[in-house]
Structure 1
């Protein structure tokens, strides 16, 4: 789902610039000569002058209960997209949970401002069209650093178009879609303020973000139970769950 794509969108713009030594070719990243400059642009320009100042101001003036309601509201709007994708992936249980969450939170939860469904045991299930394509056997494709958006892959970029343009336009007007995007973007960036040191202390922030991105996609594709690899992971499961 796009909310997690947004998370990584703004995760990519947090680290400081560094001179990067020559490295081995990463088969996942054939467009690195384009991606690295885009990473620097996202980081040095968009985050430094627009996104981070907006997030800091948002945190300063918005009480936590209000922020929580904004997150609940945007999550509720995307619940039908979760439901559709769960159905396309052959997950009737998750499809039913997303439908129930939407009905409960849209009524008792006052249009989703309050997450009543979670208190009833209906925890959010995140299903997006990029995951759907993965379940259908479509590979990641090339790693992409999108100007103004951040890390993605050819598959997930296609999924984002479906999740954030095609499906929302069925129920929302263009201004409403833009408003939801802005709310998600600012909140996602605000949630990363306390984690900036993770990137600032990494030897190569670009590679760090890319590796975490691919691990997160694998984690989501397998519903939190990725296949066990022979070599140990560089990042622990607690870190992935907190992203």
Structure 2
């Protein structure tokens, strides 16, 4: 589903710099690029045939209804955020996750209404993949999964662990599927605004790969990632001119 979660921001030049036919642009993070590109093509076909038509239909629901459904789906992940905040030593954030779940599950009627945010208790979303990265576990190779989109083993494996916490582990299959579908459709609607950027890039696959890594780094470092080696080299080259 992380295909649906990609945030397209200021990455056109980076994507355009990579050509699928030139080995000199091979990305060491993506050792399975040929296979990943095949799955990318498959996912685009699935999006055109299934996901985007379903998202357009879902988008016809009144905004308050969609907001309530998404709130309820996201509220179920608050306990896993609590655990992962504790594992990362973020005690205050863990307390916020606890109170968000307690307040929104009761006053907010099973999370349909986000009562906690207006009270100053904004989400402190953390997953087990971010916890692994926090403690120095490497990302692993970039993967484009069929129907699920871009990820790395640390990220996707963390999702599996997060699903073992209450209440996600107690959900019935229909409820789990409904939660997955709601989050997927809502995010697909949000990403439609960025579709033009994707279509105008010279290499949409590389564009999404860079967007995924930027989003993943933002999550791991809570929105303040350190500069990459490439960015540091670029800065040094820039200042060397003066």
Q: Into which bin does the TM-score normalised by the smaller protein fall?
A: 0.7 to 0.9
In the alignment, is the contact (CA less than 8 A) between 1:85 and 1:132 conserved in 2? yes
SS in 2 for 1:7: coil
Normalised by the length of structure 1, the TM-score is 0.84
| Aligned partner of 1:7 among 4, 9, 29 | 4
Structure 2 unpaired stretches of 5+:
9-18, 236-242
Q: Please report the TM-score for the alignment, with normalisation by the length of structure 2.
A: 0.85
Note if 1:53 corresponds to 2:53. Answer: yes
The whole-number CA distance in structure 2 between the counterparts of 1:194 and 1:215 is 18
* CA gap 1:20/1:30 in 2 versus in 1, 3 angstroms: closer
Q: Secondary structure at the match of 1:27?
A: coil
Question: 1:186: Cα distance to partner?
Answer: 1.3
Corresponding position of 2:210: 211
Alpha-carbon shift at residue 21 of structure 1 (Å)? 2.9
Q: How many angstroms apart in 1 are the aligned matches of 2:183 and 2:209?
A: 22
User: C-alpha separation between the residues in 2 aligned to 1:216 and 1:70?
Assistant: 24
| Cα offset, 1:194, TM superposition | 1.9
Contact in 2 for aligned 1:28/1:143 (Cα 8 Å): yes
Do 1:140 and 1:156's aligned partners in 2 also have CA atoms closer than 8 Å? yes
* C-alpha RMSD of matched pairs (Å): 2.0
Say if 1:163 and 1:6 are closer, same or farther in 2 by CA, change over 3 A: farther
Larger Rg: 2
| Rounded Cα–Cα distance in structure 2 between residues aligned with 1:74 and 1:185 | 11
Partner of 2:40: 39
After superposing on structure 2, the runs of 4+ consecutive aligned residues of structure 1 that deviate more than 6 Å are: none
Unaligned runs of 5+ in 1: 12-18, 234-243
Q: Secondary structure at the match of 2:59?
A: helix
- What does the per-residue CA deviation read over 1:65-84, in whole Å, with 9 as the maximum and x for residues that have no partner? 11111111111111111111
